[in-house]
Structure 1
Amino acid sequence: MTYQERLTIWRLLLAVALSFAITMALLPHPPTLVNVSDKWQHMAAFATITMFAVLGYPHTPLLRIAERLSFVGALIEVAQSIPALHRDCDIFDWVADTAAILAVIIVVAIIRHVRNDATF
C-alpha cells in the first residue's frame, strides 16, 4: 500500500467518524450504543477523531488540528441548544471533547519528539 493510499484511508475514516459523531450528537433521541457516561462518550469520540486527523494529515501542525476539532465540539454544543432537537447544550461536554483532543495531541507530540520529526 502506498503512502497516498494510507492517507486516503485515514482521511475517509476521519470523515466517517466525524459524520457519525455529529449525527449522533444532533439526533433528538440517539440510540444507546454503550453504557457509559455522556462525558466518556464525548472523550472516546473526539480521541478517535483526533487520531484519524493526525494520521490523515501528518504535516498539519498539531495545534491547528486541536483548534479545529475543538471548534467542531463547540459548534456541536451550540447546535444542541436548538429547541427542536430536544438536546441540552453543556459546556462541560465541550471541555471533555477538548480534553480528549489535547490528550491525543500531547501523546502524538511526545512520540514525534522522541522520533525527532516533530511538527507543531
Structure 2
Amino acid sequence: MSPLHRLFVLAFWAAVIFAYVSAVLPAAEAPHISMWDKLNHMAAFFTITFLARAAYPRLAVLPLFALLAGFGAFIELSQAVPFIHRDAEWDDWFADIVAILVGLVLAWPFAVLANRRRARRASAAQEAPPALDP
C-alpha cells in the first residue's frame, strides 16, 4: 500500500468517526459549517464518500453506496435514542443520500485514474526481472 493510499484510508476513517461523534453530540456542542443542518450533512457525506472512493477504489459503487447510506441511517437511528438529545430526521438521511450520489459521481474519474495507476504498477512489477540472490 502506497503512503498516499494509507493517507486516504486514515482520512476516511477519521472522517467517519468525526461525523458520527458530531452527530451524537448535543446540537449546541456539535461542530457545523452552516446554520442549515442539511448543508452540514451534505458536506460531511460528500467528504466521506470522496475519501471512501480514494481509500477503497476497488470497492464497487453499489456496495459503497449501500454502506454509506446505511451509515447515514445509523446516524439518524442513533439520534432517535432519547438520551442523545438530538432530533432524528429522515430529511437528513435524504440529504446524506444526495451527497453520497454527488460524491460518487465526482469521485469517479479519480477512482478510474487510481485503477489505471495500480494496473500499470502491477504490469511493471510482472515485467521486472527477478532480483538475483547473492
Distance 1:33 1:95, change over 3 A: closer
The within-5 A match list for 1:56-95 is: 56-95=55-94
CA shift for structure 1 position 63: 1.7
Q: Report the Cα distance in structure 1 between the residues aligned to 2:84 and 2:104, rounded to whole angstroms.
A: 32
Q: Corresponding residue for 2:16?
A: 18
Cα distance, 1:44 vs structure 2: 0.2
For the residue of structure 1 that corresponds to 2:2, the secondary structure is helix
Instruction: Name the residue aligned to 2:49.
Output: 50
Identical residues among aligned pairs (%) = 34
CA drift at 1:80 = 0.4
Q: 1:75 to 1:113 in 2, by over 3 A?
A: closer
Query: 6, 17, 27: which is aligned to 2:4?
Result: 6
> Which sections of structure 2, spanning at least 5 residues, go unmatched?
117-134
1:86–1:7: structure 2 CA closer, same or farther, 3 Å change rule?
A: same
- Deviation (angstroms), 1:6: 1.3
Letter in 2 for 1:19: I
Query: Which stretches of structure 1, 4 residues or longer, exceed 3 Å deviation after superposition?
Result: 112-115
Which amino acid in structure 1 is aligned with residue 57 of structure 2?
A: P
Name the larger-Rg structure. Answer: 2
Deviates more, 1:68-77 or 1:24-33: 24-33
Count residues with an aligned counterpart: 114
Any conservation in 1 of the 2:34–2:40 contact (CA below 8 Å)? no
Decide whether the 8 Å contact of 2:23 with 2:30 is kept in 1. Answer: no
Note the residue ranges of structure 1 that are not aligned, 5 or more in a row: none
